Amino acid sequence: MDFELQTDYIELIKLLKIVGIADTGGMAKQIVGNEEVYYNGVIDTRKRLKLRKGDQIKVHEVEINLI
């Protein structure tokens, strides 16, 4: 899925909530902490990771492209 970024960046846990992968911030933090998030093809555990246009996130077979 494509996510159109309206600002310079978005934090990873906020993105997970907005697109519906996580229902709460706590759930988003748990997903990231459990090494379930791939950032540009590599597992990343930074909860406040700043995502920018061109980045790709993959969680549970869902791919998110930031445009």
Give me the domain span that covers residue 11: 2-66
Enter the pTM of the model: 0.91
- The secondary structure element, H or E, covering residue 33 is helix 25-33
- Mean pLDDT for 46-50 is 94
Say what the pLDDT of residue 22 is.
96
Write the CB contacts of 46 (distance below 8 Å, at least 6 apart in sequence).
12, 32
CATH of the domain at 46: 3.10.290.10
Give the type of residue at 2: D
| Nearest 10 degrees: Cα torsion 28, 29, 34, 36 | 40
Say what the pLDDT of residue 5 is.
95
Total number of domains constituting the chain: 1
